[in-house]
Structure 1
Amino acid sequence: MRQSVFLTLVLALVSLVLLPPGLIPAGADVVLIADLDKAITPVTATYVERVIREARAVNAKAVLFRLDTPGGLMESTRHIVREFLNSEIPILVWIGPSGARAASAGVFITYASHISAMAGGTHLGAAHPVMLGGDKMEAVMKQKAENDAAAWARTIAETRRRNVVFAESAVRESTSLTDKVALDSGAIDLRADSIDSFLAMIAGETTSVAGPGRKQIALQIKSVELRTVEPKLKEKVLAFLTDPNVVYVLILLAMAGIYFEFSTPGVGVPGVVGVLSLILAAYGLSILPVNTVGLILMVVGIGLMLLDIKVASHGILTAGGIVSMAIGGLMLFEDKAFRVSFQVILLFTAMTAAFVVFAVGAAVRAFHTKVRVGEEVLSGMRGEVRTPLNPVGHVLVDGELWSAHTEDGAALDAGTAVSVIRKDGVQLIVRRLL
């Protein structure tokens, strides 16, 4: 028995000695999975950093990012790429499932991974920097941004030994590749229709990770434990507040709430909702690439529609406001990755227009309604005898107590329902209701 134990220990030591230098098995068979399925923002970058930090804490074999993004902010993308390039744990990127895309920022993220794969029916590319404007200075800035992004893409491609030509053309010419072409051209490493097949394909592969001497990691992934890292509540809330559709709605709520508060002075629900919406919208606007012209058009559109309530323009101001508000919503954010949904714009523009039409209609009806004052108001109103009319007593009409008597001098008991005929001085003349 002792000889068997001794022999086992000797064999274990020999295997460690004979292991090729620098080829170090990774930790436990744990692979963390995280989803990047929205536009890339500072919230996304913080989430990625936390996932990699947790991977180190649990000694994970690798981190797999399931990617499906329209693009995002360049600074946040740079943060994620730095995390990938300096990770001591293999970073895997899988563009999937079928129908997913890795556009714009997704190209840099895919290229920065240690091993990348695409599912069938996905595409990769179109990383051209998007900037609005057309004057000379803006054209120069656009060219500088393009050159900087192209150089960065080349650097990442050379570091990960991927297709340098595509990396640059994706930036300069917005080139996109299907999964098959991306594999054949060396833009990605594998094609895999599921995460399980992806992990099975890379079992036994080695990859160079950050660390002393760019050490080699052996991906001996066999009986792997997949753990999904969900965003924390704070990350979910911040991601919600930086959603372009949410920011658009918050802007509308802010303007409507503040307008109603000024229309009916006094700190009430509209004012509180308006101020809170404005603060929350300001956070999203501070993060997202806002087009000032689009924001101004939205404000002008709301202003024109609300002005139509005060000014009789026969709907001309409302029509102009609807057009201005819709165009402003479409132009609100510069990058295509942050466009407000057309359905959301259509819905809330229609709701705002419907409210304005209702308000204008009410104002018109009020304008044409004959104003009734004094005796005209009291005539025909119903009341109740409170003290017997014998012949004079008191009746309660519209919450007020009046001295009253009947038209024919008849006595009426308390509790009798009456109708006002007319006002005679300070008394009401009433009749019994049958």
Structure 2
Amino acid sequence: MAGLTLFGPSVQAQSDDTVAPEVVSDTPSDTPSDTPSDAVARVDVLQVSGFVDPILVEAIGEAIDRAEADSSQALILQVNSDATVVDDDVVEDLLVRVANAPIPIGIWVGPSGARFYGTAAQLLAVADVTGMAPGSRVGYIGVPLDPPGLPEGTSVDFGIAEERLRNGSVGLSDARSLNVFKQRVDDEGVPTISNMLQAMNGYEENGVEVVTTKLVVLDDGSTRFDTVSVVRFSKLTLLDQLFHTVASPPVAYLLLLTGLALLVFEFFTAGVGLAGGIGAISTVLAFTGLAVLPTQPWAVVLIGLAMLAFAIDVQVGIPRFWTGVGIVLTIIGSWFLFEPVPGSSMRPSWLALIAGVGGIILTFIV
């Protein structure tokens, strides 16, 4: 049996009774003598988690280039994404990139409970092999795009499923009945990445067949599929992961309130201290995230005015009228900070809202 090679930050490999990969190494530098399946090229897996933003779009392009350069036989995108926060022209370029990839591209929406919402979900129409885990959902694709540069005979066409997918989502049963996926296996869904490897097995492109599993007959006469291809997982780099994380509504929101509050206090103390430095960094990171997300500028202005109102009472050291004004403006700005997108309200969770507003109240009153 071959195994799973971990590339980049370590991840937990999944397995099941059908395909049983074995962990071979935790580095990307395996030599042919290190792997039991010398003649079988590896398969790359990129984890696409969180909103589809410019960082993830770039990571997908780099993963395609890396797979081609390293002679991998296929690339699987493991997707769990609630929304797409890039413009349609960026999605169009990505559709063309995936459709014209020199290696087969598979998309697996998993594990169970995963989502693939937004315009980027149209990638399911141009990828070579697609599947989803039970309990996952896909949809809210919007109007199908028609980018120039797609290969002849390829288009963003979901057939009878298009009406359901435009402004709604479907689970596994509906997706199967509507032929949303090209999963190439008869199983009820594709529950693990190991099953997705089996779904890729036998796919042929440009005269080259993908080989990922083999049928093994056991002593008792039963059969199973064993993985014969090394699988290399990859994630975002630490720096990319940082900026991808700050481009999430709760993180950007809390960084904004924290940064501005610290700057207000630092402004009325002697010198520039630790609080000012942390406040400046938090504010810069917050606006980096807000620039990616569908932020409502007027709500950001309200939060800024709230901080000015707090600053008036901070000067005298006693919470008065302007502190109340600041609290009201903070609540309004927090609630309407982000515009909803199909499939997601984009509003920070109740926990984040309570932490943000509650923290501001405690900071400027207590």
Q: TM-score, normalised by structure 1?
A: 0.63
Partner residue, 2:62: 50
Partner residue, 2:162: 167
> 2 CA distance for matches of 1:225 and 1:235?
26
* 1:56-108 CA distance string (max 9 Å, x none): 12211111111110112233433432321120111100111111111113421
The alpha carbon displacement at 1:254 in A equals 2.9
1:37 aligns to 2:49 (yes or no): yes
Alignment of 1:128-167 (within 5 A): 128=142, 149-152=143-146, 159=154, 162-167=157-162
> 2 CA distance for matches of 1:261 and 1:202?
57
Partner residue, 1:261: 266
The alpha carbon displacement at 1:330 in A equals 2.9
Alignment of 1:93-132 (within 5 A): 93-128=107-142
Aligned match of 1:69 in 71, 81, 89? 81
What secondary structure is seen at the aligned counterpart in 2 of 1:110? Answer: helix
The alpha carbon displacement at 1:350 in A equals 0.6
Q: TM-score, normalised by structure 2?
A: 0.73
Partner residue, 2:355: 347
> 1 CA distance for matches of 2:155 and 2:145?
14
Partner residue, 1:418: none
Aligned partners of 1:306 and 1:356 also within 8 Å: no
Partner residue, 1:273: 278
One-letter amino acid matched to 1:347: A
What secondary structure is seen at the aligned counterpart in 2 of 1:150? Answer: coil
Partner residue, 2:204: 206
* 1:320-370 CA distance string (max 9 Å, x none): 433431331232222445433331121121111012221xxxxxxxxxxxx
> 2 CA distance for matches of 1:106 and 1:289?
16
The alpha carbon displacement at 1:162 in A equals 4.9
Q: Which structure 2 residue ranges, 5 or more long, are not aligned?
A: 1-38, 184-188, 214-227
Alignment of 1:234-245 (within 5 A): 234-245=239-250
> 1 CA distance for matches of 2:123 and 2:62?
16
The alpha carbon displacement at 1:165 in A equals 4.2
The alpha carbon displacement at 1:197 in A equals 1.8
Aligned partners of 1:288 and 1:333 also within 8 Å: yes
Aligned partners of 1:119 and 1:192 also within 8 Å: yes
Aligned partners of 2:309 and 2:325 also within 8 Å: yes
The alpha carbon displacement at 1:35 in A equals 0.9
Assess, with a 3 A threshold, how the Cα gap between structure 1 residues 111 and 252 changes in structure 2: closer, same or farther.
Answer: same
Aligned partners of 1:28 and 1:59 also within 8 Å: no
Aligned partners of 2:40 and 2:211 also within 8 Å: no
Count of aligned pairs between the two proteins: 303
What secondary structure is seen at the aligned counterpart in 2 of 1:67? Answer: strand
1:290 aligns to 2:298 (yes or no): no
Partner residue, 1:81: 95
Alignment of 1:302-317 (within 5 A): 302-309=307-314, 317=322
The alpha carbon displacement at 1:312 in A equals 10
The alpha carbon displacement at 1:175 in A equals 2.5
The alpha carbon displacement at 1:319 in A equals 4.3
1:183 aligns to 2:195 (yes or no): no
Greater RCO, CA 8 A, separation 6+: 2
Percent of pairs with identical residues: 22
1:301 aligns to 2:299 (yes or no): no
Aligned partners of 1:170 and 1:176 also within 8 Å: yes
Aligned match of 2:365 in 320, 333, 357? 357
One-letter amino acid matched to 2:238: L
Assess, with a 3 A threshold, how the Cα gap between structure 1 residues 189 and 307 changes in structure 2: closer, same or farther.
Answer: same
Aligned partners of 1:72 and 1:335 also within 8 Å: no
In our comparison, the structure showing a higher alpha carbon Rg is 1
Assess, with a 3 A threshold, how the Cα gap between structure 1 residues 310 and 268 changes in structure 2: closer, same or farther.
Answer: closer
Aligned match of 1:60 in 72, 82, 101? 72
> 2 CA distance for matches of 1:312 and 1:260?
11
Aligned partners of 2:91 and 2:119 also within 8 Å: yes
> 2 CA distance for matches of 1:357 and 1:46?
45
Partner residue, 1:388: none
What secondary structure is seen at the aligned counterpart in 1 of 2:144? Answer: helix
CA root-mean-square deviation: 2.9
One-letter amino acid matched to 1:32: D
Partner residue, 1:380: none
* 1:111-166 CA distance string (max 9 Å, x none): 231110011111111124xxxxxxxxxxxxxxxxxxxx43439x989726852343
> 1 CA distance for matches of 2:317 and 2:241?
46
> 2 CA distance for matches of 1:161 and 1:253?
43
One-letter amino acid matched to 1:167: E
